[in-house]
Amino acid sequence: MTRNATALQLTPELVAKTLRVVEDQGPEPNRTPISPAELDDLVHRIEAEADGDIWVFAYGSLMWNPGFAASASEPAIAYGWHRAFSLRIERLRATSAAPGLMLALRPGGSCAGRILKLPAETRRQELRTLLAREIRYAEVTGMVRWIPVRTPAGTRKVLTFWASTRHCPLTESIPLEEAAVLIAQACGPAGSCAEYLHRTVSDLCERNILDRNLWRLQEMVAARLNALPA
């Protein structure tokens, strides 16, 4: 069973209610921005662990905004993992006064997405840019790892970003009701969490991927936004 993006209850008009101009407040509270040397070490570690080509598992914003020109792309399913809004944030798409949530992979279930191949000619540069985008703080360098995924070409070892509570106390399993409250309220200099949810679910619909939790979540966020004054 699939869902059509036109059937989304979380509409662009509702998303517009969440958007506002927010000044950059700097790094996340109690987080240490990753240093260039630490980022280089992470790049070297990933390259050393890679078996030739580097493929990245895209399950959220990397599907609709990868930030690099992939040299190849395939549909893929990660068994034993699911996508969830489980990473608490107070920056980017949120503030300390109105915190929000971002997606990460959590153990259990299955997750359909795509894998993207880093171009060989610019692999190190693209990998460094990707890691700088996804791993912004020294405390969360353990939230990047390799997992196997199933593709039409067989099983591939791919890089992904996951919600490791051992490495980051900001990640946890969050009930949909609480997630809807946080997503409906949060906006930062990079946009709102509702916008992020809308773009992700819309992209999944266009790819005929049904994520029941995210579909229910967009309904709940839409209901909260519909209840706001016009």
List the catalytic residue out of 134, 139, 178, 195.
134
> What token pair was written down for 13?
């008009």
Catalytic residue status for 134: yes
Q: Give the SS3 label for residue 110.
A: strand
User: Which has the closest alpha carbon to 143: 103, 177, 175, 176?
Assistant: 103
DSSP sequence for 138-149: GGGGGGEEEEEE
The phi and psi torsions of 160 (rounded to 5 degrees) equal -150, 170
Cβ within 8 Å of residue 141, ≥6 positions away: 34, 38, 42, 135, 167
Residues designated as active site = 134
